[in-house]
Structure 1
Amino acid sequence: MFEVKGLIEEVQFDKDCIIYIPDGLQFIGQGRSAAVFRILETQKAVKIFYPEYKGLAEIEAHVYQKLNNHDYFPAYYEVGDGFLLMEYVEGITFYDCLVSGIPITEKMVVKVDEALEFACSLGLNPSDIHLKNILLTSSGQVKVIDVVRFTQEFDCPHWRDLKKAYETFYLRRYVPKKFPKFFIEFIIRLYRRRLLPI
């Protein structure tokens, strides 16, 4: 853990921009409050929160502790000052499935439902569920990532709306299963502005 902590301390941010990544880490992705890196030559990943969001590490760690390494979520190992040490999950997001044309099956959607129902059964409130927070692993499993907002109290409609769009449009035979990024981003912008009939 000492070596990992040293690598984490070397990562440099300017707000949400990554300025420097040490050789031992491989960039995976980033979101509104953190960036995720694989620790090279391991099956571990580290989620490092931007300086102004460091306090979210303890909140997300508490959620992962409740989830207790359930199969529908990445395994959680440890929390530190502004970071989480977790299982590295190799796979593709549902967002990238749309971009590359990998079909999102009804079985995959059911698995997401099961994951969220399990979280609800523990008293959590799954929130901020979107296409980049759901992974199809290389072994065909479905995993929900980024659970930091599962402690929010308001009712988040994101997953319900995604399912409705999936059932209403995506499942139709004539609808393509591959979409360019600019089209997906355009739909996301319309949704955020509440300009879609969902």
Structure 2
Amino acid sequence: MSWQSIEPLLKKIRIEANPDNHPVSVVSVPPPLTVVGTGTDAVVVRYPDFPRLAFKVYAEGRSQSRENEYAAYRRLGRSPYFPVCYGKGSFYLVLSYEEGPTLYDCLVKGIPIPEQAIDDVEKARDYARRAGLNPRDIHLKNVLLQQGRAKLLDVSEYVKPGNDGRWDHLVQAYRKFYPLIAGRKIPVWLIEVVKKTYYRQVAGDFSVSDFGRRFLPFIKK
């Protein structure tokens, strides 16, 4: 049995893309497929007979993101920092299934984020650049923690120019503010407030230190 054999089942997945960079809405996923993640362009599902694989199914109108991501994975090849892409269909990619909480999950659950994980992301960025890519759109939900090491997900924007600065700002925040919350459970509502405020204000002469100090009263509670 090959993974191509479940394509008819994957076609039955119903998802809807949303504006303003919000995750897709999952309308229906037929069993025995199970959802393991959602993003702004796609939903990621697993099938019991292929436990080592993940199928990333893209919403209608997001085919360019699929092509961008496939092109990026072809350049990345096999590395310890990224999933492996085994192939693609007309509306999906076939990736290695990667276990572990995201850095976002770590904040919510109080799982310590080690310095090694931060270093791994920096090495992954260097690796991607050497492969002729431009690593960007790296944020808390795109980095997995696997036994103290980091693995990066969602490389669809690596073929685009420009630096969104998101990871650089996260590293600065990690150095300055994470010691105050390491191992503590951070409420989802607070993380979302910080994220939305960041998106509204990040531009030009943005200071992570000044921005972070605004939330210190919440952190110290």
TM-score (norm 2): 0.83
Please provide the CA RMSD for this pair.
1.7
Q: Cα distance, 1:178 vs. partner?
A: 2.4
1:4 maps to 6
Instruction: Give the conservation status (yes or no) of the 8 Å contact 1:170–1:177.
Output: no
AA of the residue aligned to 1:131: L
Q: Number of paired residues? A: 196
User: Deviations for 1:132-151, whole angstroms, at most 9, x for unmatched residues?
Assistant: 000012x4431000000001
5+ residue gaps, structure 1: none
Aligned-residue sequence identity (percent) comes to 33
Structure 2: how far apart are the matches of 1:5 and 1:62? 21
- Aligned: 1:157 with 2:165: yes
Question: Conserved in 2, the CA contact under 8 Å of 1:57 and 1:80?
Answer: no
Aligned pairs for 1:2-81 (under 5 A) are 2-15=4-17, 16-41=24-49, 42-81=51-90
Alignment match, 1:114: 123
Q: Is the 8 A contact 2:75 2:132 kept in 1?
A: no
Q: 1:122 and 1:112 mapped to 2: Cα distance?
A: 15
Bigger strand share: 1
Distance in 1 (alpha carbons) for counterparts of 2:86 and 2:183: 40
Distance 1:168 1:18, change over 3 A: same
> CA contact under 8 A between 2:83 and 2:97: conserved in structure 1?
yes
Report deviation, 1:171. 2.5
Spell out, residue by residue over 1:24-77, the C-alpha distance to the aligned partner (whole angstroms, 9 max, x if none).
311012111111112224210011110010232122111101110211101110
1:141 maps to which of 136, 149, 152: 149
Q: Which runs of 5+ in 2 are unaligned?
A: 18-23, 209-221
Q: Find runs of 4+ consecutive structure 1 residues off by over 6 angstroms.
A: none
- Residues 34 and 48 in structure 1, CA contact (< 8 A), matched pair in contact too: yes
| 1:116 CA displacement | 1.0
Length-normalised TM-score, structure 1: 0.92
Listed as ranges, the matches of 1:155-194 within 5 Å are 155-172=163-180, 177-194=184-201
